[in-house]
Amino acid sequence: LFASISNAWLSGQWDIHQMSHPLPTTLITLALALKIGLAPLHTWMPEVLQGLDLTTGLILSTWQKLAPFCLLLQVQPANATLLLVLGITSTLVGGWGGLNQTQLRKILAYSSIAHLGWMILVLQFSPSLTFLTLLVYFIMTFSLFISFKISNATNVNTLATSWAKAPALTSIIPLILLSLGGLPPLTGFLPKWLILQELTKQDLAPLATVAALSALL
């Protein structure tokens, strides 16, 4: 709200396509980053997701991202570096944060931060690639949350004992997790591969290397 009002005040325009002044553009980018939970504005996300049940967590991880993403796609950033910094910070924080976690919802929250980081990295170069990544992320997260809901698992220990109750489902869950991690030849590898390709085309090979290494975590 503050960003859009300051934009109207500075440029006399309420239209999102007419945002020319750097201050409101930077403000709205940061505000939307806070809404979708990009690092370093991510601190609310793991805690909130941990406190929710799986169905609400699913809504927060998927449906909740659509509106801010639609706005981010329409805002032309004041400086290209801001999105790249947000993106690479998110991939690193998402990778590091997921280590040493036993709570599945927290792992998923950090996974969400990392995936959004990948999307933001490529947003200004190829919006269609961002959309593809978002779609793949939605499908994978949806399947994982539903699997956890069926097997009634909220931490790693419950997941380990759910083998006796639903063997087929328990054998699918590691595959979905590996796909979320971006392991070839699973679906989750495709968008990451394309994003790395796009970043190298834009002469951002060092950034692509850091992003690829963060995915290993």
Distance, in Å, from the CA atom of 58 to the CA atom of 71, rounded to the nearest integer, reads 21
Instruction: With beta carbons less than 8 A apart as the criterion, state whether 69 and 138 touch.
Output: no
Q: Beta-strand (E) ranges in the chain?
A: none
Tokens of 128: 């269609």
DSSP states of 116-127 = HHHHHHHHTT-H
Distance, in Å, from the CA atom of 77 to the CA atom of 70, rounded to the nearest integer, reads 14
pTM: 0.92
pLDDT tens digit at each of 217 positions of the chain: 999 899 899 988 888 887 888 899 999 999 999 999 999 999 999 999 999 999 999 999 999 999 999 999 888 777 789 999 999 999 999 999 988 888 999 999 999 999 999 999 999 999 999 999 999 999 999 999 999 999 888 888 888 888 888 888 888 998 999 999 888 889 999 999 999 999 999 999 999 999 999 988 8
- The SS3 call for residue 59 is helix
